[in-house]
Structure 1
Amino acid sequence: MSLNSLRLYWTQLSSLQRRAGILLFCILPWLPWYWAPAPAPTVTKMPAEPAVQTLPLFSDNQLQNMLQQHDIQIQQLIFQSHGIQLRFSSHWSNFHAWLKAIAESSHQLYFYQLQTNEGNISGQLTLNRARYQRGPDLAHIESLLPPPPEQHTAAQEETPCLQTPIPAIQIRAIWPQRNYVVLSKSAQPTSLQRVYIQHLLPGERWRLTAINEKSIEISALSSHLSCSQQRQLSMN
């Protein structure tokens, strides 16, 4: 077909047919590429990640039970989202045994201030949760502690215990289900104070150890484990 014949044929086509022809002319060169099979993807095998050992992570109740099991006297215990804040007093050996249990967990000893006196230890510390990480370095903490106290002699064991005066308080309300009571001092009956279980009574060396329906139980703080004072106070 000559070029003049093509021109004559093109002029006889409608406008829509011309547009369709132009579009087909543009698409035809791309059809082989479109229908060709796509190359297989290149797969790179990633090295296997080492297994991460999950260390024990104690709950708030477990931590509180551990403190009580090791006979650590809780003066203040605050639960937070990242861990606990603790103010305590204890015998050296009891605190050391508790610290060994923490060292095998994933809790981190973030901050601590410790004081010792005649085989007893007291202070405050912050214990954070840190999953997949071992707890405090026991050897490092032991290096900061004084050596274990020597055994008491017979003369020391026969030393009489000093009795702690019973606190002059009045029980205003008891809430066993909420783990606290409302107290007031006899000298200040209008000053009400809330005391939670295992916390110290305001301005006293007595700790709230149990809450019953109509009474409470308290125990005195003592520098010797053999000197134990416990009292039960009823609501007036």
Structure 2
Amino acid sequence: MNETELTALAQMHENSILLNEQTTFLNQGSHSNKSYIVNRGWAYRYTDLSDGGRQIINFYLPGDIINPLAALTPKTAYSAASITPLELSEFKLEAFINPLITQSRLGLLYGWMLSRLDSIMAEQTIRIGRLLAYQRTAHLLLEIFHRLEAVGQTKNNTFSMPISQHFLADTLGLSLVHMNRTLKKLRINNLVHFNADQVVLKDIIKLKKIAEYQPFDLVQTENLLAFLNNKTNPDLKFAYSAA
């Protein structure tokens, strides 16, 4: 990033807010023209059902943007709440639309972000629609690990996951009893170790095979970074020029 790009990005962080844990800041069906960047902590996106059930759609981790198209779709189709104490940067579309237009690389970064969000949502659909409970759980743990790894919050295949089994069950479409049995099976098979909110992936290669986990978004990240550093291949440069 050059100085102009860094200045534009810093302006998106000028208005920070702090939320306590378990605080809802977006309500399904309400109107909001605000977008957020997660600076610290965890949040989640969910939908409540008429029978009292809840489907967790996605987790928001440090660096993620929440409600990115708020100005275009102000009626929120989901709810969002903090899991831990949460620090967010709050911004409106006009705060960064001009830099995106004038700074082409920032426009590319924003487009990549939307593409990555689409990829995460697609993986969640596959998880709860086609994978068995054992596979679903391994897949989600791998995804969270890689997302945290990208922002430097993993060490020696270990990461902090401040969510209960109830949260995992609501994410994976499982009963709490089934969730408990699945986690126990992963422990018995020496694939995952849990210690309070710390998770250790003891055999990532085997977990990937079990979950049929293919992190295509990580490859796309490498392509983007290569392009931004002018180390891309001719095909990628041509594709971007044509776009």
* TM-score of the pair, normalised by structure 2: 0.23
Which has the larger strand fraction? Answer: 1
Which has the larger helix fraction? Answer: 2
Q: Which has the higher contact order (CA 8 A, sep 6+)?
A: 2
